[in-house]
Amino acid sequence: MRRLLCALCAFALLLAGTRARAEEIVLTEGSDRWSAQTFAMDTLIQATIYAPELTREEVLEVMGNLSRLERLLSVTEPNSEISALNRAEGEAVQLSEETLLLLQTAAEVSKETGGAFDVTAYPLVKAWGFTQVEYRVPDGEELRGLLEQVGYERLVFSEGAVRAEGQTQVDLGGIAKGYAGDVLTRALRERGVKSALLSLGGNIAVIGGKPDGSAWKIGVRDPQNTEENLGYVEVKDANVVTSGGYERYFEDEDGNLWHHIIDPATGYPARSGLLSATVIGENGAVCDALSTALFVMGPEKAADYLAGRTDVEAILVCEDGRLLLTEGLKECFTPLGSAGGRTTEWICRREDA
């Protein structure tokens, strides 16, 4: 469904006769808001900015960060800094401060999560065909060979540069949309915006609350019935980021479904007992990387990890019908339709967290 919407959006943009990058952003001006829509990072991006005082040029300038980041960070953009690193075969590569900082954040989260999120999982992601959309099921031997190249500790950072050992390659697909949300919200705040809602292919970033001052209500999709929300969270100045196996997947000849979140320990798409992991917090990049990591960890490990961390809240939808929520959500999560009949359990913080 998402792919269809994205394709329709791309088609609509094409029909609009777009040429230059800035024109690929469809802008609508309302009495109290700007609405912007574009297609970047292989996903539909929508922004509602409650700041009619901004000029068209200012909104375009803010949204233009998306194509700038894509040119810098995408593995499918041959001239991106990340592609240069992926071609370097063990040589150190000078990177812009922005790319280097994001890569360092990605490497830190990789370490923090014991490699559940691993920024060097790219050879595996490619082997399954997710980057090129040429899906295939690699055999065990191929995966074992690739696993030798995977490991965040194979990235060696130095002044202004990074070196990826041997054939190690990186992919920021699990963190860059969250980071893009950070960049856009920062740019909007710098222009005085007090209320905005951004959706980057399901990653939500909000500035402030709604124009009336109340909290934003952000729906959390039911992974087993994706037309429905299992509940909503009420947030201000936050990111709400979900990773799940139900959006990007393919079916092999034997009818097996394989999704795009790879367990870097096995090389196979993660089958951890979770259907989705939603992370809520102030730092979009961290929320994005953590949602991927928690999904790989599975319910027990993820709950244990969250019990030791206080800067994010999370909602874990388990295959066995449980809904695990961090205790900080007690006041701001509302189930809908009995959350699809799931039982709710709260994750309590450890005292030393």
Separation CA 193–CA 185 (nearest Å): 9
Tell me which of ligand FAD, Mg ion, none is bound by residue 121, counting a contact when its beta carbon lies within the kind-specific cut-off of 5 to 8 angstroms: ligand FAD
Task: Rule CB under 6 A: choose which of 38, 243, 276, 326 binds ligand FAD.
Answer: 243
DSSP state of 24: G
Q: For residues 36 and 164, give the distance between their C-alpha atoms in angstroms, rounded to a whole number.
A: 37
The token pair that represents 72 in the structure block = 């810098």
Kindly state whether residue 169 participates in binding ligand FAD, applying the rule CB under 6 A: no
Minimum distance between the CB of residue 261 and Mg ion, rounded to whole angstroms? 8
CB closer to ligand FAD out of 93 and 261: 261
Report residue 31 CA to chain centroid gap: 32
Sorted by sequence, the CB contacts under 8 Å of residue 32 that are 6+ apart come out as 50, 52, 211
CB 246 within 8 A of CB 295: no
x/- string (CB under 5 A) for Mg ion, residues 149-178?
Answer: -------------------------x----
The arrangement of strands across the sheet holding 333-335 comes to: 216-222, 225-235, 333-335
**73 token code pair:** 């960070």
Question: Which range, of 90-98, 166-174, 187-195, 279-287, touches ligand FAD by CB under 6 A?
Answer: 166-174
Q: To the nearest whole angstrom, how small is the minimum distance from the Cβ of residue 296 to ligand FAD?
A: 5
SS3 content of the chain, % helix, strand, coil (to 5): 35, 30, 40
Per CB under 6 A, contacts with ligand FAD among 50-79 are 70, 73-74, 76
Q: Which residues bind ligand FAD (CB under 6 A)?
A: 41-42, 70, 73-74, 76, 117-119, 121, 125, 130, 133, 171-174, 176-177, 243, 247-248, 260-262, 264, 288, 291-292, 296
Q: Which residues bind Mg ion (CB under 5 A)?
A: 174, 243, 288, 291-292
